[in-house]
Every structure is written in C-alpha cells, then in structure tokens.
Amino acid sequence: MNENGKQRPVIEATNEPLLRIHQLQSGVSVRIAKKLGIGAHNSLSERSSINPVLRYALPLAAIVVVFVACHELPGFLENATVYILLFPVIAYSAWYCGVGPSILAVVVALVGARYWFIPPIHSFRVPDIAQSISILAFMFASTGVVMMGEARRRHNQQLRNGQAELEVRVKERTAELDAANKGLRELSARLLQSQDDERRRIARELHDSVGQSLVGLTMNLSAVCADIDRLSKTATSLVDSEALVQEMGKEVRTISYLLHPPLLDESGLASALHWYIDGFAQRSKIKVDFDCPENFGRLSRESEIAIFRMVQECLTNIHRHSGSSTARIRLRLLDGQVRVEVWDEGRGIPPEKRVEMAAGGTPGVGIRGMRERIRQLGGDLEIASSSTGTVILAQLPATDNGSSADVTPTPDTSTAAA
C-alpha cells in the first residue's frame, strides 16, 4: 500500500536540531574525560585529594619504605643511589598529592638521606663537593617535577570545572528538549481533535440545512410534475431536474457521512465500519472482508474516531495505489488491547519509499496522521510491505467510553495474514 495520495493536511514539527545538540553536548563531556584521563571519581589524583591526611601520609610512607630498603641493602648502594630511589616518590607526590606534600617529601628525603646514608652518617656536617652536587641535582630535579606536577593538576582542575559546566548545560538543553517535545505532542493532539470536531460540525450542517432544503425542493418539483403531466416536454425536463436533485441529495448525504458518520456516535465503531466498508466496496468494486465479532462493544470516543480514520485512510490508499482487488480488515480486543489489521494483495510500497521510511525518512501525510492518532492514545502503528502486498497493524489500549456497553474481550479465531 503506497502513501502518495492527497490527504488532509497535518501540521507536524520536527526537533532534529535539538536532538543533535543534545547528542553532541553529551558526547563532548565523555570524550574530554576519556582523552584526558580525568574521570570524576576514578583517577588516583581524585582519591588522593579527598583526604588531606592521606595526601601527606602516602609520600612519607613511601619514603620510609625506601629508607628501610636502603638500610637492608647497604652493600649495593652508593651515595647517589639513595636519591635515585627517592626520586620516584617525589614524582608521585608532585603528580598526585600537591605542592605541600611534595615539598615536605623533598625535605624529609634530603634530611633522611643525609643523616642515615651519606657519610658521615648520623651527622649533619657540611658535605663534600660530590655530595653537594648530588644534593643540588636532587633538589633541582625535584623542583622541576613539583612545578610540572602542579601545572598538570591545575590544568586538570580547569578541565574538570569545564566538564561540570558542560554537564549543567547539557541538562538544561535536555530539559528544553523535553519541554518542546511535550508542547509538540499537546499541539498535535489539539489539532487532531479540532479537525474531528470541525468535520462533525460540517457533516451536521450539510445534513440538517442543505439536505433538508433539497428534500423540500424535491417535494415541490414532484407537485409541479403532477400538475403539468399534460405538458410532456416540460414534464420530462422536470423529471430530469427531480432526478438531479435526488442525486445531489445522495451526494450530500454521502459526503456528510464520510466526514463524520452518525453511526459512529449512535451505534459505535463496528456499525460505522460495516456501513463504510459496504459503501466503499460498491463504489470501488474492491472486495473487502471485514472480520469483527458481533459482541465487540463500545470504546472511548477518541479510540473509535482514531480506528475509523485509520481504516478509512487504509482503504483509500488501497483503492488509489495498491492495485489490489481484495482487502481484509480484522478488529479484535485481546488482553485490554484493541488490535486492528488491514492488509491487501497489491503491488506494495515502492522499494525506494520503504528504504526511506526504514532509514527514518519522512512518511506521507496519511501515514503520519494515522501514526499520530494512534500514538496520542498510547498505541503504536506498524507497516510491513512487499511486492505481494502490505499489512498495517495498530494496537492501542482499550478504554470504555462510560456511556455504552462494556468492552468485551473477543477471541482471535481468524488466520494471521501471510
């Protein structure tokens, strides 16, 4: 079943730009964290900075471990080896603990190395030239590492602050997007309801005013015909005129019923569909098989209108586009859900149109109207098409209108569409 025919206009706005902004902004913060290694709560620097005592205790504990190891292996150490072993501790302090713990680690490392491991041990006498060079080299290297580590920490903090601001902006954009979507749904519902109300009003006006006037005109012409039977030529013209008026009356009633069938309000969905399908089959010469239980009952006014318009749109498309000589409609109520299936054996939706719809392209106006009506009632609409025919399936919650007979679940005894 193709969707190329003309159909009532439906206003539908798209929010693709807002969605793209939301996705782009959400991805930025994730990429920043991954590329720069600054996860909010997983990095070692974050864990170390949570507890100030831990920031000072870890470097001091590492220095003690180095001193103990050097004390246990005195034969393998030289004067400069102690500084080499202490330097990774200084680098760790500068990288993860901050300026204060790093300076304390440098001081403790220098004092401990000078007192316990640099001859003369257990003394703070002025060292010789070689020892002084080692101390100065250790101090300069430690100072450089501390400066680089602090610069990195400040840079990472700026990145974390930027990430937090970006997340706040993403939340704001998400809230704006949700509000826009909610407004769009409410607008679509109001437009569809206004359209149905306008159709009902026009149908009543045509039936009550124009239809009654045509009936009166027909009666007058019949009386004139009875009075001038002797004037055969004039009588023939009047008879033709009477026939034309009667035909106009039928057309007006048909248009009125198509706009909004009175049976939909008076007798319910099943009766209205029976009436419409019978008229459609006579006009289009398409054989339509309507499968609906006799005890189907009444639904809410909105549900009955939505299902009737869906079936009306599907049959119109079958007649205009599919080329099928048959159509089948099945209406069921199962587990609190109304299930409506319409299928034909025509040429199906063109492949390029199916590819466009599968890729998220814009469907025709009729399909959008059907889908929006069903979605407003909490249901969904599915379309399956091939070269052997098209199947349209709609499911929506069954709600009683409160003034009609109860909605009775009906067993599904028919065979599913191939």
Of residues 392 and 156, more confidence is placed in 392
Give the model's pLDDT for residue 326: 92
Give the model's pLDDT for residue 365: 63
Query: Cα separation of 7 and 255, whole Å?
Result: 15
Q: Mean pLDDT of all residues in the chain?
A: 75
Give the pLDDT confidence of 80-103 residue by residue, as tens digits.
677 777 888 888 888 888 888 888
Residue 326 in 3-state DSSP?
strand
Q: Which H or E run includes 116? A: helix 99-116
Give how far Cα 71 sits from Cα of 59, 68, 75, 90, 285, Å.
Answer: 18, 5, 9, 19, 105
Among the listed residues 322, 330, 328, 319, the one whose alpha carbon sits nearest the alpha carbon of residue 280? 319
pLDDT at 347 over 50: yes
Q: Is residue 48 packed enough to be buried (19+ CB in 10 Å), middle (13-18) or exposed (0-12)?
A: buried
Per the listing, tokens 């909010």 go with 40
Q: Which two tokens stand for residue 159?
A: 């990145």
Give all strands of the β-sheet with 287-291 in edge-to-edge order.
287-291, 326-334, 337-344, 389-397, 380-386
Query: Cα separation of 413 and 178, whole Å?
Result: 42
pLDDT at 14 over 50: no
Average pLDDT over residues 353-379: 74
What does 172-195 look like in DSSP terms, one character per residue? Answer: HHHHHHHHHHHHHHHHHHHHHHHH
Give the pLDDT confidence of 366-376 residue by residue, as tens digits.
778 888 888 88
Of residues 344 and 240, more confidence is placed in 344
Q: Which H or E run includes 331? A: strand 326-334
CA–CA–CA angle 53, 56, 62 (5° rounding): 125
| pTM of this structure | 0.47
Give the pLDDT confidence of 45-90 residue by residue, as tens digits.
555 555 777 888 888 888 888 878 777 776 545 566 777 778 888 8
% of residues, the chain, pLDDT over 70: 72
CA atoms within a 13 Å half-sphere pointing along the CA-CB vector of 35: 8
Average pLDDT over residues 290-306: 88
